[in-house]
Amino acid sequence: MEKKNNQLVFQDIENRSRNGAFIYGAAWFLISFGTGFIDTAPVVFYSILSGFVILGAGRLLITQLRAKTKLIPFKFWVASIYISAVVPALMTSILFSLSFVNPLFEPMFNYLLMTLFAIISGGLVNFSPRSDLSYTYLTALVTPPFITSAFFSTSHYLEGAMLVTYGLFMMALSRRLGQEYEQRVRQQIELERINNQDSLTGVSNRRAFDYRFAQEWKTQVQAKAPLSLLVIDIDFFKNINDTFGHAAGDEVIKQTANEIACVFKRQSDDVARIGGEEFAVIVPNTAHYLVVQLAEKIRRKVEKAPIEFDDEHLSVEVSIGVATCIPKEETTTELLFKHADSCLYKAKNTGRNRVIAEEIV
């Protein structure tokens, strides 16, 4: 849940702050143009502008690559968010500090001061979901002017003190907003879990299965990698219900789901309950023969693990249909499901408690 929480938080931060990727460069251009800095120090102007543009463009590039290819590691993406947030803020803060002591930058003083107050407020909105990021961002903005006004240009101590005071106030406000945001994210994750999880077994429900199956199909189309589907049905389940009651049937379903989930532990695999006593497992990037071996492992585990219910030992068996293919754009998930379901039907009609598999060429 914590990992899911982090992914949602950083994706939201990315969405919030994406439009501000080039705001620092735009502000620098307008201030330099308005004060004539472009003409008086063109090399310095273009060097700083290039830095702002490179940081903004680099961040957008990483975001696009992650969205389209999923090849950018999560930690690298997070690092790019931190760098693109803190470094431009620090650069702007240093430029403001230079306007205290360097005559070349002095005409920019008022404009840079207004810019700092504006981006402090904007950063509070964008980065409050992560308190460590918002604190680092605000610290980068207020520290250089504070040090400069305290030790190198005491005539500007009032501006430095005002900026620090405002920054501290924003830190406190950011902390409160972050706590409220975290609570909303946790509520969202819990609601998503309720909507996508089968209440009896804890595995995915049919709604989540259909969505995940469609997404995995698209992914494997691009990767040109195999995708397998297992359809699993509990044999003679109606007899269990009729003989021992629905409570016993529920226990059989729960224990069977647990046995299946114990075999398919990879994060990429997805176990779902798609009907009363029917389950499905999505298995990407795995050779057909290995998937068949895993299916046989499930069958044996269920067969050898009788379920105890009200002092009764219930013998349970399953029939499994397995189908594997390399997804193509001109086909859909229905192809794989149809073949897996057909294999299950054959397993049922040839004696049950067996695995029937097919590799679609």
CATH numeric code, 206-359: 3.30.70.270
Q: What are phi and psi of 229, to 5 degrees?
A: -135, 130
Does position 1 have pLDDT exceeding 70, yes or no?
Answer: no
Across the chain, what does the average pLDDT equal?
Answer: 90
Q: Which residue has the tokens 């609601």?
A: 191
294, amino acid identity: L
Domain boundary assignment for the chain: 2-195, 206-359
Whether 4 has a pLDDT exceeding 60, the answer reads no
Stated pTM of the model: 0.61
Distance CA 284, CA 222 (A): 13
Q: What angle do CA 60, 63, 64 make, to 5 degrees?
A: 85
pLDDT tens, position by position, 41-63:
999 999 999 999 999 888 888 88
Q: What is the DSSP letter of 130?
A: S
On whether the CB atoms of residues 165 and 219 are closer than 8 A, the answer is no
Is residue 3 over pLDDT 70? no
| 270-273 vs 227-234, strand pairing mode | unpaired
Q: What is the DSSP string of 6-32?
A: HHHHHHHHHHHHGGGTTHHHHHHHHHH
The predicted structure's pLDDT at residue 5: 65
Q: What is the DSSP letter of 279?
A: E
- H-type alpha helices, the chain: 2-17, 23-35, 37-40, 42-69, 74-101, 109-127, 131-151, 157-196, 206-223, 237-244, 246-263, 288-303, 333-349
Please state whether beta strands 355-359 and 318-325 pair in parallel, antiparallel, or not at all (unpaired): parallel
* More confident site: 97 or 77: 97
For residue 2, what pLDDT is reported?
54
Residue of 115, 118, 78 whose CA lies nearest to 94: 115
Beta bridge partners, 320, equal 232, 355
pLDDT band at 248 (very low <50, low <70, confident <90, very high): very high
Contacts of 42 (CB under 8 A, 6+ apart): none
pLDDT of 30 over the 90 cut: yes
The residues carrying an active-site annotation are 277
Quickly state the pLDDT bin for 183 (edges 50, 70, 90).
confident
Gap between the Cα atoms of 278 and 235, Å rounded: 10
What integer is the mean pLDDT of 20-25? 85
Average pLDDT, integer, range 314-329: 94
Per-residue pLDDT for 19 more than 90? no
What the block records as the tokens of 356 is 């029937």
- Say if CB 263 and CB 298 are below 8 A apart: yes
Measured in degrees and rounded to the nearest 5, phi and psi for residue 264 equal -100, 85
Of 39-48, 61-70, 159-168, the range with the lowest mean pLDDT is 61-70
State the pLDDT confidence band at 169, using cuts at 50, 70 and 90.
Answer: confident
Residue type, 293: Q
Residues 6+ apart with CB under 8 A from 356: 319, 320, 321, 322, 343, 344, 346, 347, 350
Q: What gap in Å lies between CA 161 and CA 145, rounded to an integer? A: 9
Please, are residues 236 and 296 in contact by the beta-carbon 8 Å criterion?
no
Query: Which residues touch 229 (CB under 8 Å, ≥6 apart)?
Result: 213, 280, 281, 282, 283, 322, 323, 324, 336, 337, 340
Confidence grade of residue 15 (pLDDT, cut at 50, 70, 90): confident
> What is the SS3 assignment for 280?
strand
User: Mean pLDDT, to the nearest integer, of 121-150?
Assistant: 88
State yes or no: pLDDT of 332 exceeds 60: yes
CA-to-CA distance for 260 and 269, rounded, in angstroms? 11
The predicted structure's pLDDT at residue 270: 95
User: Dihedral of the CA atoms 181, 187, 190, 192 (nearest 10)?
Assistant: -80
Q: Is the pLDDT of residue 242 over 70?
A: yes
Backbone φ and ψ for 275, nearest 5 degrees, come out as: -160, -170
Query: What's the whole-number mean pLDDT along residues 232-248?
Result: 92
Q: How far apart are CA 245 and CA 216, in angstroms?
A: 38
| Partners of 314 in beta bridges | 307
pLDDT tens per residue, range 263-308? 998 988 999 999 999 999 999 999 999 999 999 999 999 999 888 8
pLDDT of residue 351: 92
